[in-house]
Amino acid sequence: MLIQILTHTPLYVWAILAFLLWRGVAEMRDRELTLRRMLILPLVMLGLSLNDMTLKFDLGAPLIAAWSAGCAAAMLLAWRFGRTRIAAGTAPDRVLVRGSVMPLILMLAIFLTKYITSIVLVIQPQLAQQLAVAATICLVFGVFNGLLLGRLVRMASALGRNQLTPSASPL
């Protein structure tokens, strides 16, 4: 059955996986970015999650609440307990972002959640109508999105408080 699943997976899915792996490896290196560039990854992953939830489930209030709760809780935890991994860049509108494996892990987690959900719903389409299943998947997407957004908020708040100095070591 596994071989059948893998061979029936459209080629664009493997292209998306390759792109996410490439971007995730890039996120592991220190690099200089603008705030606008820092927005791209969390917003793209947010779009992928919301698109998947919209296509697979009837997004009623309980599912939106599940996603929102997961997102808010994870965002708060990432903002409160995460590390500020930026320092001043070489230009006023740029920051040095310390590399991290976390974006790669979160991108792959979102991809796998989408992929496994798609497989399960092809095999058992009636599960899409079960509130507990749909709410759990939306909650999981919310947690992953919240972690990425919380990391972004933490970095943006450090920028807003002008805590960055050119000689600061990004931690």
Q: Which amino acid is at 74?
A: A
Burial of 66 (0-12, 13-18, 19+ CB in 10 A): buried
* pTM assigned to the model: 0.81
Segment 109-149, tens digit of pLDDT: 999 999 999 999 999 999 989 999 999 999 999 999 999 89
Main-chain phi, psi angles of 44, to 5 degrees: -65, -45
Q: What is the pLDDT of residues 77-106, one digit of tens each?
A: 998 887 767 777 787 777 888 888 988 998
Q: What is d(CA 100, CA 42) in angstroms, rounded to the nearest whole number?
A: 14
Question: In the structure encoding, which two tokens stand for residue 128, read together?
Answer: 């899409």
CA distance 118 to 113: 8
The helix-helix angle for 102-123 and 131-160 (nearest 10°) equals: 160
